[in-house]
Structure 1
Amino acid sequence: MTPLGAALLGTGIFAKDIYKTNFKEKENEVDLKAVWSRTIESAQAYVQEFFPRSRPVAGEEALQEIIEDDSIQLVVVVLPVQAALKIVKRCVAAGKAVVQEKPVAATVAEAVEAISAYRRAVADAQTPQRTPLWMFAENYRYEAVFVAASRRVSEIGRVIKLDLIADLPMDERNRYFGSVWRRDVSGCPGGFFMDSSVHFVAALRMLAAAAGLGGAVSACAHARQTKPDLSFPDSVLGFARFANGDVPASISISLAAHQVRWSLSVVGTEGTLEVSRGGWGGTRTGYTLSIKTIRPQEASQPGQTDSAVQVLAYAFSGCQDEFAEFVGLTAELRRGAASAECGGDAAEVAVPNPAARSSPEEGARDLALIEALLASSAAGGQPVQVVQI
Structure 2
Amino acid sequence: MANAKPPQIAIVGAGMFVRNQYIPRLSEISDLVSLKAIWSRSEESARGAVEIAQKYFPGVECKWGDEGLDQIIEDKSILGVAVVLAGQAQVDFSLRLLKTGKHVLQATSELEAALAGYNSISANIKPIWAVAENYRFEPAFVECKRLVAEVGDMMSVQVIIEGSMNSSNPYFSSSWRRNFTGGFILDMGVHYIAGLRMLVGCEVVSVSAITTHVDKTLPPPDNMSSLFQLENGCSGVFVMIVSSSSPKIFWRVVGLKGTLQIERGKHDGQHGYLVSFYGADGQCKNTFYRFSGVTDEFKSFIRDIQQASVKGSYHEAEPRMSFVEGATDVAVLGAMLESGAKQGAPVHVKKF
TM-score interval, smaller chain: over 0.9
Q: Deviations over 1:19-42 (max 9, x none)?
A: 112322232332222110010011
Structure 2 residue runs without a partner (length 5+): none
Larger radius of gyration: 1
1:150 aligned counterpart, secondary structure:
helix
2:221 pairs with 1:233:
yes
2:279 aligned counterpart, secondary structure:
strand
Aligned to 1:262: 249
The AA in structure 2 aligned to 1:35 is: I
Aligned to 2:32: 29
The AA in structure 2 aligned to 1:200 is: Y
The 1-side partners of 2:176 and 2:157 are apart by: 32
Aligned to 1:202: 194
2:164 pairs with 1:164:
no
Aligned to 2:332: 369
The AA in structure 2 aligned to 1:374 is: L
Alpha-carbon distance change, 113 to 190 in structure 1, aligned in 2, over 3 angstroms: closer
Count of residue pairs brought into register by the alignment: 346
Q: Within 5 Å, which residues of 2 pair with 1:96-175?
A: 96-101=102-107, 103-105=108-110, 111-121=111-121, 124-126=122-124, 128=125, 131-175=126-170
Alpha-carbon distance change, 371 to 283 in structure 1, aligned in 2, over 3 angstroms: farther
| Match 1:378 to one of 328, 341, 347 | 341
The 2-side partners of 1:312 and 1:159 are apart by: 22
Whether the aligned pair in 2 keeps the contact of 1:4 and 1:31 (CA below 8 Å) is yes
Query: What's the Cα RMSD here?
Result: 1.9
1:285 aligned counterpart, secondary structure:
strand
Aligned to 1:253: 240
Q: Deviations over 1:322-353 (max 9, x none)?
A: 1111111111211234xxxxxxxxx7x32438
2:225 aligned counterpart, secondary structure:
strand
The AA in structure 2 aligned to 1:7 is: A
Q: Quote the offset at 1:125 in angstroms.
A: 2.1
| Match 1:92 to one of 81, 89, 98 | 98
| Match 1:308 to one of 283, 307, 314 | 283
Alpha-carbon distance change, 240 to 314 in structure 1, aligned in 2, over 3 angstroms: same
1:29 aligned counterpart, secondary structure:
coil
Q: Quote the offset at 1:48 in angstroms.
A: 2.0
Aligned to 1:190: 182
| Match 1:285 to one of 271, 275, 289 | 271
Q: Quote the offset at 1:81 in angstroms.
A: 0.4
The 1-side partners of 2:95 and 2:236 are apart by: 34
Alpha-carbon distance change, 278 to 29 in structure 1, aligned in 2, over 3 angstroms: closer
Whether the aligned pair in 2 keeps the contact of 1:167 and 1:259 (CA below 8 Å) is yes
Whether the aligned pair in 2 keeps the contact of 1:287 and 1:313 (CA below 8 Å) is yes
Q: Deviations over 1:264-285 (max 9, x none)?
A: 0000001100001249x99982
The AA in structure 2 aligned to 1:15 is: V
Please report the TM-score for the alignment, with normalisation by the length of structure 1: 0.85
The 1-side partners of 2:103 and 2:213 are apart by: 39
Aligned to 2:351: 388
Which ranges of 4 or more aligned residues in structure 1 deviate by more than 6 Å?
281-284
Aligned to 1:47: 50
Whether the aligned pair in 2 keeps the contact of 1:118 and 1:132 (CA below 8 Å) is no
Percent of pairs with identical residues:
34
Q: Quote the offset at 1:70 in angstroms.
A: 1.1
| Match 2:292 to one of 309, 317, 326 | 317
The 2-side partners of 1:116 and 1:91 are apart by: 15
Whether the aligned pair in 2 keeps the contact of 1:376 and 1:384 (CA below 8 Å) is yes
Please report the TM-score for the alignment, with normalisation by the length of structure 2: 0.94
Q: Deviations over 1:114-155 (max 9, x none)?
A: 22332343xx422x4xx3101111001111001111100011
The 1-side partners of 2:208 and 2:155 are apart by: 19
| Match 2:321 to one of 358, 368, 376 | 358
The 2-side partners of 1:205 and 1:282 are apart by: 29
The AA in structure 2 aligned to 1:331 is: Q
The 2-side partners of 1:48 and 1:207 are apart by: 39
2:64 pairs with 1:58:
yes
